[in-house]
Amino acid sequence: MTRRLPVVVSTNYKGGVGKTTTSRVLSQAMAAEDSFNKGKPVLVIDLDPQGNTSRRWQLMQTLTDGSRIPKAHPALADEKVNYSSVCDLWLELLGEGPSLAPVPYVTSNPMIHVVPPHEFLMGEAMHIEKASRPKLGMIMRNWLRDVGAAEGERLADRYCCAIIDTQPSKTTLIDAALMAATHCYIPFIPEPQSVDGVYSIISYIHSLSAQRGKDVPLEMLGLLPNMVQNTRLHNMHLKELRSHATFGRYVMPVKMNRRIAYSETDDWRNLPESVTELDGTQIEWEARKWCRHIMQAVQADVMEKANA
Ligand SMILES: Nc1ncnc2c1ncn2[C@@H]1O[C@H](COP(=O)(O)OP(=O)(O)O)[C@@H](O)[C@H]1O
Ligand SMILES: [Mg+2]
């Protein structure tokens, strides 16, 4: 029996609902929770070509043509390409030479390692011919499931959990993330415009889950209410959602309120880095509560039969 790496995806086809913020706060909470991480870092994969997560950790550079690529990686100084991105997995599929395993970057938090995006190569991946699309997810899944990984190189031995941040539109890259995921959650704002579409994502995720065959099931962690304000509109909307006959059970029993500290900690120049370091404050309590809810559901120490 070997340990399976949990892979949590934050997704919603809408932008500005908190995919990046919630996944960042979750990674920081996991990194701070010894009973969850057991001393192993969190692996954050930035699957949004905009690279907001990676920019938070100062891992991106902008080329003169305006496109974004990862910064030089200290361990790759002697290589022809001196950076690494999640697209390294797909180089062969994209006709860009042999594929490589991404080399995660160490961040200012020693318990958080990040694999950044590559804007141009992601553009190529999103427009790959139809027949090759499922391969994006299969290759990513095999990497995260340590298929063929050498002893000592297994991600499940090196990391406690992987978290994937996704882009705000329905693309082949999100399908790839959901194919590689073991768990997913959907942050949303309890307002009519944000709730629209969430139901169809849930149905879509269920259909993907049903197609998995013998692979581990994709567990839906649920809808995470974000930027909640104590207004009549938000209260009414949350109440209606929670009592919805079909979808009510998907709304998580936790929430994130709209608080300036979430956006302040988005800026790498601000200290503390994480809201979970704001000891004894309401926000620290709130963030720990919803993050613990997810950590409990994810159970970092799931064991499975070794990959054949
Ligand atoms: N709970 C919150 N309270 C206050 N600001 C928030 C909260 N969640 C997200 N934000 C801010 O809202 C903006 C959009 O959030 P982001 O996580 O980037 O959304 P997405 O990744 O879904 O596009 C960011 O500026 C972020 O700092
Ligand atoms: Mg984002």
Place of tokens 């930027």: 227
Pocket probe for ligand 1: among 11, 12, 21, the residue whose CB has the most ligand atoms within 8 Å is: 21
Centre a 10 Å sphere on the Cβ of residue 253 and count the other Cβ atoms it contains.
Answer: 9
**Peptide bond preceding 117: is omega within 30 degrees of 0, i.e. cis?**
no
CA distances from 146 to 85, 92, 140, 303 (A): 18, 19, 10, 13
169 lines ligand 1 (CB under 6 A): no
Could you tell me what percent of the chain has a pLDDT over 90? 82
Ligand 1 atom 3: residue of nearest CA = 258
37 lines ligand 1 (CB under 6 A): no
Cβ-contact 16, 77 below 8 angstroms: no
Give the total residue count for the chain: 308
3-state SS assignment for residue 179: helix
CA angle 253/218/139 to nearest 5° reads: 135
Residue-wise pLDDT tens digits, 138-194: 999 999 999 999 988 999 999 999 999 999 999 999 999 999 999 999 999 999 877
The CA distance from 298 to 4, in Å, is: 11
- The number of the ligand 1 atom at minimal distance from the alpha carbon of 24 is 17
16 lines ligand 1 (CB under 6 A): yes
Nearest Cα neighbor of 259 from 291, 227, 287, 232 is 227
Strands 303-304, 105-106: pairing is unpaired
| Helical spans, DSSP H, in 145-281 | 155-158, 172-180, 192-195, 198-210, 232-242, 260-264
Nearest Cα neighbor of 190 from 142, 97, 244, 255 is 255
- The number of the ligand 1 atom at minimal distance from the alpha carbon of 187 is 22
User: Looking at residues 68-97, what average pLDDT do you find?
Assistant: 97
Ligand 1 atom 16: residue of nearest CA = 18
pLDDT for 308 equals 39
Residue with the bigger pLDDT between 216 and 51: it is 51
Place of tokens 């009510």: 248
Q: What are phi and psi of 153, to 5 degrees?
A: -105, -5
Residue-wise pLDDT tens digits, 182-235: 999 999 999 987 777 888 899 999 999 888 888 888 999 999 999 999 999 999
Radius of gyration of the chain (CA): 19
Burial class (CB in 10 A: 0-12, 13-18, 19+), 131: exposed
258 lines ligand 1 (CB under 6 A): yes
Residues 6+ apart with CB under 8 A from 119: 49, 50, 51, 67, 68, 69
Ligand 1 atom 26: residue of nearest CA = 263
User: Looking at residues 37-66, what average pLDDT do you find?
Assistant: 96
pLDDT for 305 equals 59
CATH no., domain 2-304: 3.40.50.300
- Name the residue ranges covered by the structural domains of the chain: 2-304
